[in-house]
Chains A and B, each alone.
Chain A
């Protein structure tokens, strides 16, 4: 079986359309983020608590919310999680704790919502849970998961996440510059920034949270999208040597076409597994799998229509075709 036998699709010719489309998508993503005041950050980065509970008999989200409000809780977020009888209850670090932490109160900054002081355990998540048990008497509540992050660690994790994405991008440019030339590195990074921006955009649009897991998904998307891009770059480099008579534009278009089979196959298999993870992996890993699925699609598109065409665009603006052999090998 073969999907593409000697394809001759004019990828580079579609450059203007692709660049325009991508520019629009990037702008829309950025606008979505602005409207939603940036992607929603999970408690991993903001500090706070999240409880995953299983209830029997299952109340509605509204009933849980009413029960909590009846106990005086506000700003608590309740969502169904995976099945009708499981819920996520999320609440931020109390404002006073944040204020105290900002004023330099070490203890508040370190502990956030959960602490042991003296003989008494003050644990916001546990207190909320026991209040909920009172508010929903007759309902059996099983605590399946609890995560609490203090504001100080939340801030640190945020910095670490940003640093890790930036470090990944930097090291990748460095690697590509060493293995190819700087221009290829810039083209690859532009494609990556495009991929990550679109993924952030869709997360903002769907109001999915950015958690530690999602950062891991982002880095995987970066690695994956780059994988695709580099395979094409490799072919471009090879064809540059073999086909000296062809123009830069022709060589690049030929290279993308030659890699097309492989690109589609790999994207398909990776998409298959990401999709199975999305449908079968369970709610805990749902958003992560979603990010991967989306990233595979965007990454495949960008390596064909963005990364390599950028090279053409760059060279046609700055370099004459005669010089190319000197700079690219």
Chain B
């Protein structure tokens, strides 16, 4: 055996052994049953051991593991470049805090482009809750409620504003086109009933998701409002005045009118008109008996006296006054506590609104100076809602709105089905190829099969070693690699056969067979690599997984075909004067 052959044989053996070693954790991870995993939860030592093994094993993509992939768009309207960049990074950090506290293992949060954040949550159980937690702004503000006496002039201003002018992005006076647009909404997935069409249509115009409310089955109508009065008082006509019930505000809104009122109070024209004050609705409606649900509406200062960023902690606890409901207790930092003490001291008897994302959670009366810097937020919270809110407040408010622009969620059951089917396809596909090659090339076929199997082992080891993610299309990529890896070997074997037909010796045939095939193999594989590279650049998620396994598979197949099989072939044909070759 010559020196070069020895070196190449050694190199091949080392790479193969190293690959097998790299795959050990993957085999171990596969051998741990789900019962074992369940049992390990009791035993922290075993748990740590398992997570170490998992960390070194091949990572499964969200489509195989189950989980959620979200692309969030960060609202950067009106920001300059550096502000936008800053907002993106802050959103990312806050989302990371939230997800971290939400208890998802190995979340992945990355920025993408200049305005997007990609969130990957593997093994997630409750996608709805996760979406709500990620998307909520969680802007907590304390704002003084304006005295009742200031309300009347403000109402008049708004009535004048919307009288004659179009009510927020809709045209109420001319009801025909409104109904048309409602009808258009009906053509799609919407399900607005006939009698509520006018309002549903108006809603659709103000809010692109208006028809979704209809899908939720909320029945919109102008119940309770006198049409003639409403015509002259487009804003106050939608309100119900009930002084003396709350103390903090005499204004209420029928549940059916909430969306219309919300649209008007959010309208930029309202803000321009009112300047220092604004209206906000309460989060939950109040039950006035006989099925009448009313929502308080507050006139409050624009400027908050305190915001959520002065919070040091927030925890949920049972609400003692309202059994079965929960509240969130918070404490303020020193600066916040000082401000809080000063404002409460100066405003005894007035009402302080606690506003969360533009809705009032409560507006308690200030009974005296509060020096402790702690308080609570109450509302119709269940235990889970209160603890989610506490989590959001601890993690911090998002500096701007975020929207979910793309979502892909795979349930855990589908993930395990996909793995099973993918692995089945891989096993049977490989078996077919192996049998075919053995029949066709006999002894040389054995060499080819060794190369194929080694190719899969090395490819998997690369995946494990470089923390690359295996997806279902990734498994397809591996299967395809098997089919195409044969190609290199076929090229070589066909060449050797040709050389043998020219009556060359076996050694010479093998040598020139490899020499001639090498150039072809490289040329042919580079083109597939180009396609793989483009997929890597353009693909996201699972598609990237396909590109990764395909590209690595091509590279490893070049190694196994050009180096590994050559070592074996040269070794097998090293004796001078052999007359027959099994090919």
Contact = CB atoms under 8 A, between A and B. Distances in A.
A224 B204 CA distance: 49
B27 interface: no
Interface in A157-198: 160-161, 163-164, 167-168, 171-172, 175-176, 179
B409 A72 contact: no
Contact of A226 (B414, B520, B528): B528
Given A116-B135, A270-B483, A277 B429 contact: yes
Nearest to A161: B538
A119 B473 contact: no
B321 interface: no
Contacts of B189: 72-76, 91, 94, 124, 128
A100 interface: yes
Interface residues of B, number: 109
B358 interface: yes
Contact of B418 (A107, A215, A271, A284): A284
**Residues of A contacting B: mostly:** helix
B413 A144 contact: yes
A91 B40 CA distance: 43
Contacts of A292: 480
Contacts of A228: 524
Nearest to B210: A96
A116 B357 CA distance: 12
A315 interface: no
Interface residues of A, number: 100
A281 B479 CA distance: 10
Contact of B410 (A105, A144, A266, A270): A144
Nearest to A146: B409
B537 interface: yes
A149 B137 CA distance: 22
Given A111-B73, A116-B404, A171-B534, A127 B439 contact: no
Contacts of A230: 520, 523-524, 527
A218 to B, nearest CB: 9
A74 B520 contact: no
With most chain B CB atoms within 10 A of its CB, the pick from A167, A212, A273, A279 is: A273
Interface in A215-265: 215-216, 219-220, 222-224, 226-228, 230-231, 234-235, 238, 258, 261-262, 265
27 contacts: A2-B440, A73-B191, A74-B189, A106-B77, A110-B405, A116-B402, A121-B132, A123-B128, A145-B409, A148-B408, A161-B538, A172-B527, A175-B527, A216-B535, A220-B480, A227-B527, A235-B520, A261-B494, A262-B490, A266-B490, A269-B482, A270-B483, A272-B483, A276-B432, A281-B475, A282-B417, A282-B421
Interface of B: 63, 71, 73, 75, 77, 127-128, 131-132, 134-137, 181, 184-192, 204, 208-217, 283, 356-359, 401-411, 413-414, 417-418, 421-422, 424-425, 428-430, 432-433, 436-437, 439-442, 472-473, 475-476, 479-480, 482-484, 486-487, 490-491, 494, 497-498, 516, 519-520, 523-532, 534-535, 537-540, 542-543, 546-547, 550
